[in-house]
Structure 1
């Protein structure tokens, strides 16, 4: 089990390296940790509206961003934003929700059910059905928001949220355009290991997940994979991580853009669902415009390229690579974020 645990822990990290520190969550009234985050609502500017709603009886915590001079009597296109695995709405998902609102869209970024500030027990379930329902739930809520044109709703997913956004888009025909950034196919990685590094232990890890579920059922005890003590991180321990994604992820989530609701851990029993799921299954059901963005230097690029190739149900699709960018650096480096926002402006401006 020690070998499995350490390998899985490495698989969980998602991150950023060589980054300056964003403002601590406690310094922002909305606990936002990205650069140039809103600190107060000002008339005539982009505003943030923390809200809660119920999804299958679970309380969902979300932030709505409305564009400058928002008028509920007018009609606006809307975009739902899904956060990365282990992430929260206050990190990169919030950054892009705010930047898209600056372009004139009504946007929503929500914490996944059983994660972040959202409700649900046991904590930190990472089950594809629920993560996909989170996206359907955001569409449900934003469709009823004053001023939203329900014929112009788009979806945007980052990292693991990108994989779940693709999954939702297969059946979510209320969404008219789909975009992803640094897409992470959670099922493939939990099954095969990152960059297919754990192919020899698939059955062993699935058996461990089934054992964990049996223990939950019999005793109520929940076991977790991927627990990381961010306070114990050292430069030396981070430097030993060989993959850019995981090494930079430890810095992004554990240091530069740390948020108390962000965690890499998930229930061990979640692997029963994760390891038998794949974001690319039936991806040809997506028949709307598709934009997939990724860092040219990202060691996770293979997942975006695979999904893009399999997305044969739409002829309006584009793979957009950000020069010199690794996976996590697409989250925060200003020059990369500006390129991505410009591309999203072009894409959603044309399709919504």
Structure 2
């Protein structure tokens, strides 16, 4: 089932126009007193993918939802294209809060955030210091900085690999003046059938979503420019999760998610009230579109937290 038809809106973050979808609560849903939830997309993704799936569940439960494309990606402004900047991403969440406070249908005291995948790092980071965010939830959370240092699966990468990526980032930056072409990073093969036989199962999980009709979208190119790595390299999303308290934190993962360790680490660094909710049988990418159980949990969480 599709979410309610969204309104095309926009807001500004660091001078860049951010393209967004605003979903109103379903007319037959419970009255949530203007509660609104910002839904933030994964790395290399867009608002029409997993955020729309969660918006469907949350709007049917009475919440207003705002989903948007990160700067440099999708329909939002920003050059160079396909840049992943954690600090810009965090700023966008805070600017999204500011935008929601201008909407007459939104109760500014009832604004929460849901971060998916890499935004599962950005959302807690923003919540740590933006006291206007009253509740924070994540699905399949990943810290982009930890991933750069340690890998998508726990300790599947190391600082030697990161050093090579930082050299590519330096070459990318030099290309602004030298004009020498630097290859863009393809996170996944273009077609699922092109996956090599030894492709890691954790990335095959992602490809099964992004590179098949299941989740494919032409604006989600699954590419990233190399200079992103020197911005991500020392980012640490969860180091100050204790600052979220006394506001509540919910982190959702799956028993089969290769990234489950991120949520476990993040919750361990938080203070009460906090909860790790693990969905039986789901992988990381399953939490992008198999949202019934996670959605039910989110409805209960935000229903209690945003009142």
TM-score norm. by structure 2 comes to 0.91
Stretch moving more, 178-187 or 50-59: 50-59
Cα deviation code 1:183-234 (max 9, x no counterpart): 011111122222222213232322332232122244385642226552x431
Q: Which runs of 5+ in 2 are unaligned?
A: none
Q: 2:238 aligned with 1:280, yes or no?
A: yes
Please point out which of 71, 79, 83 is paired with 1:121. 79
2:304 corresponds to: 350
Q: 2:119 aligned with 1:161, yes or no?
A: yes
Please point out which of 51, 56, 59 is paired with 1:101. 59
Matches within 5 A, 1:268-307: 268-287=226-245, 288-307=247-266
Q: Distance in 1 between matches of 2:54 and 2:168?
A: 37
1:147 corresponds to: 105
Stretch moving more, 174-183 or 94-103: 94-103
Judged with a 3 Å threshold, the aligned counterparts in structure 2 of structure 1 residues 227 and 322 are, in CA distance, closer, same or farther, namely closer
Please point out which of 302, 305, 309 is paired with 2:268. 309
Aligned pair count reads 300
Stretch moving more, 143-152 or 192-201: 192-201
1:43 corresponds to: none
Please point out which of 319, 323, 339 is paired with 2:276. 319
Please point out which of 200, 203, 213 is paired with 1:242. 200
Preserved CA contact (<8 Å) 2:42 2:116: yes
Please point out which of 182, 187, 191 is paired with 2:145. 187
Please point out which of 154, 157, 174 is paired with 1:214. 174
TM-score norm. by structure 1 comes to 0.80
How much does 1:281 deviate?
A: 2.4
Q: Which structure ranks higher in relative contact order (CA pairs < 8 Å, sequence separation ≥ 6)?
A: 1
SS in 2 for 1:257: coil
* Runs (4+) off by over 3 Å: 217-223
1:19 corresponds to: none
Q: Which runs of 5+ in 1 are unaligned?
A: 1-35, 39-45
Preserved CA contact (<8 Å) 1:80 1:156: yes
Q: 2:185 aligned with 1:225, yes or no?
A: yes
More helix by share: 1
Stretch moving more, 127-136 or 54-63: 54-63
1:3 corresponds to: none
Q: Distance in 1 between matches of 2:106 and 2:196?
A: 44
CA RMSD of superposed structures (Å): 2.1
Preserved CA contact (<8 Å) 1:295 1:326: yes
Q: Distance in 1 between matches of 2:21 and 2:257?
A: 29
Q: Distance in 2 between matches of 1:176 and 1:310?
A: 19
Q: Distance in 1 between matches of 2:254 and 2:136?
A: 18
